[in-house]
Amino acid sequence: MAFDGITMNCVNWELQEKVLDARIEKIYQPSPTEVLLHLRKHRESLKLLLSAHPVYSRVCVTHKTFENPKSPPLFCMVLRKHLEGGKITAITQPSFERILEIHIESRTELGDIAHPTLVIEVMGKHSNIILLNPEENKIIDSIKKVSFSTSQYRQVLPGFEYILPPHQDKLKILDLSQEAFTDKLLAQEMTLTIEKALLNTIIGLSPLLAKQLVARVNLDGQTLEFFGEYELNLIWQSVDYLRQIVQSNTYKPVIFIDSNGQYKEFSPINVPEYHNGNIIEFKSLSEAVDIYYDWLIKNNLFMSVKSNLQNTINKEIKRCEKKLGIQLETVQASQNSIQDKILGELLTANMHMVRRGMEEIQVADYYNNNAPVTIKLQPELTPADNAQRYFKRYNKAKNAAQKAAIQVEQSKEELAYLESLSFWLNETNTYEDFFQIEQELIDGGYLKPRGKPHAVAKARPIPNTFITKNGFKILVGKNNKQNDWLTFKTARESDIWFHAKDIPGSHVILKVEGKEISDKEIKTAALLAAFHSKGKHSANLPVDYTQVKNVKKIKGAKPGLVTYENYKTIYVTPDKEIITTLFNAKGDSP
């Protein structure tokens, strides 16, 4: 959701109530693009966040805690000089732009009264925070400097005149009439969608708000060329609905969520026809904005670090595949070297025919129906040394192949482990699971540690827990270390262990607890094992199961790798909806 003019208007209304007449006690600059004002009003402390970040620019009252630099940046020092101790006397929004002006009454170093203005421009990569002397309309300083080389229209530099961003040829929502709206709408290209036409018509409207207005009257995706009087009346009713909200300040802030509970967008208005109930409602937009951007920043950082980890794993997988290829070639070379052994034996059997100085000799190959075979010789070597040369080549290749065969198994095991890490990382959606996988990579020597281990990485694993309708508890591991802990630390020998056959996936434990296990419980646990595996989109997936006492940890093996015996195999087709019906309301959802 873009922080549009309507959103800024909602913020303006809220700040009028919350921070008007507040005193500025402290000013901090926690990052190069953010300013934090500590305010006090009627014995209540507030924190007002102003952000000019190119992606996360916003204005809101925040409850977050920020880490400030040891030495305040120059812009922060300028703000402290002009604003600390001052009182907020007015808050304005010029022309429904994404601009907020905070007017302050403060005193200069000589004790004279001054009226500086703090301007916050929330415009994506062009966002800025500017301190003005409004009497001269001159810029005192800004968090970002904009020179002539960057913008020929508008420079933002100390001492320069402050110029508002270019005026948009659009209508203001509060001054809107149906006639003016219809004329402006129909003056555009008829091939435009109604959403795009609304954006070109009304100032302060974002694509999300336009979609909400269109969804409210069920005109999604329609173009102007098919608009008649009926459709024009419908869209005007929706726009007038927004106008009344803005005019009466009856905003209803929400955050839209997807089916996984992830935040999608936020909005100052609640249009049920747009979201189908997948929302979280808030009493104030500041709270919604604060929570949404806090989640967005953490999520983007999480996804960035997650991507870096995935690149590390992919690099190690390629390295391991290359190493495995070389080792397999070495094993294959040993099979080809058997011919050297045969040639050595043929030379030994025909030693009486070999003379020093010969470059080759033809003898009968008694391994191949006495067919003639030509053997290359080294002229400087004796007949016996020529035979030994072939035996040495054979023994060297055989010894190398024996070592390579052991290395092949080790490489296959490492490759399976790395592929399991890749699977778990792709499945990870929480910080706790992510840090455990990161720590696993560090412990394995694939990643350098980043200072002290994260507390979550060292915490006791918490597997997913499910309760069947018959009261059986089923535990599901969420990464390799959890799998080990679940199987060898938590489960009892009589419990039933499940795992999708020959692919990365969860160790699943069906807790017996002295009860009789039915085929239905076996199938339920197998479905969970299949669903929490790399083959969760497959049909008739084989799942092995056995008692925990039959599962053994491979000595020296990577986390999560086990061997097992006395097992049975069941074939299941994982389906989330079917699995969900097998459990009580309590417990995690599959």
Number of domains comprising the chain: 3
Is there a domain that residue 329 lies in?
no
106 plus 186 within the same structural domain: no
> CA-to-CA distance for 369 and 354, rounded, in angstroms?
22
Q: What are 327-385's pLDDT values in tens digits?
A: 888 777 776 677 877 877 888 888 888 888 888 888 888 888 888 888 888 888 888 88
Query: Could you tell me the CA-to-CA distances from 369 to 366, 373, 376, 486 in Å, in that order?
Result: 6, 11, 20, 62
Q: Is the pLDDT of residue 394 over 90?
A: no
Is there a domain that residue 32 lies in?
yes
pLDDT band at 555, cuts 50/70/90? confident
Domain edge (last residue) among 126, 142, 158: 142
Q: What are 122-145's pLDDT values in tens digits?
A: 999 999 999 999 999 999 999 999
Domain edge (last residue) among 265, 283, 301: 283
9 plus 132 within the same structural domain: yes
Is there a domain that residue 218 lies in?
yes
Is there a domain that residue 107 lies in?
yes
CATH number, position 60: 2.30.310.10
229 plus 126 within the same structural domain: no
Q: What are 405-424's pLDDT values in tens digits?
A: 888 888 888 888 898 888 88
Mean per-residue pLDDT over the chain, rounded: 89
Domain edge (last residue) among 258, 283, 308: 283
Are the beta carbons of 569 and 500 closer than 8 angstroms?
no
Q: Is the pLDDT of residue 111 over 90?
A: no
**What does the angle CA 195 – CA 201 – CA 207 come to, to the nearest 5 degrees?**
35
474 plus 568 within the same structural domain: yes
Q: At what angle do helices 285-336 and 338-349 cross, to 10 degrees?
A: 10
> CA-to-CA distance for 3 and 557, rounded, in angstroms?
52
Question: Largest Cα–Cα distance of the chain, in whole Å?
Answer: 119
Is there a domain that residue 227 lies in?
yes
pLDDT value for 585: 43
133 plus 179 within the same structural domain: no
Is there a domain that residue 178 lies in?
yes
195 plus 109 within the same structural domain: no
579 plus 502 within the same structural domain: yes
Are the beta carbons of 509 and 478 closer than 8 angstroms?
no
> CA-to-CA distance for 525 and 582, rounded, in angstroms?
10
Is there a domain that residue 382 lies in?
no
Which range, 226-240, 331-345, 471-485, has the best average confidence (pLDDT)? 226-240
125 plus 177 within the same structural domain: no
pLDDT value for 458: 56
Is there a domain that residue 515 lies in?
yes
267 plus 182 within the same structural domain: yes
Beta bridge pairs of residue 130: 119, 142
120 plus 232 within the same structural domain: no
101 plus 199 within the same structural domain: no
pLDDT band at 205, cuts 50/70/90? very high
Q: Give the pair of three-digit tokens for residue 222.
A: 């329609």
**What does the angle CA 311 – CA 314 – CA 315 come to, to the nearest 5 degrees?**
85
pLDDT band at 401, cuts 50/70/90? confident
Q: What are 421-463's pLDDT values in tens digits?
A: 888 888 887 777 788 888 888 888 888 887 665 555 555 667 8
Domain with 518, as residue range(s), is: 460-587
pLDDT band at 588, cuts 50/70/90? low
200 plus 89 within the same structural domain: no
For residue 377, with 0-12 CB atoms within 10 Å meaning exposed, 13-18 middle and 19 or more buried, which class applies?
buried
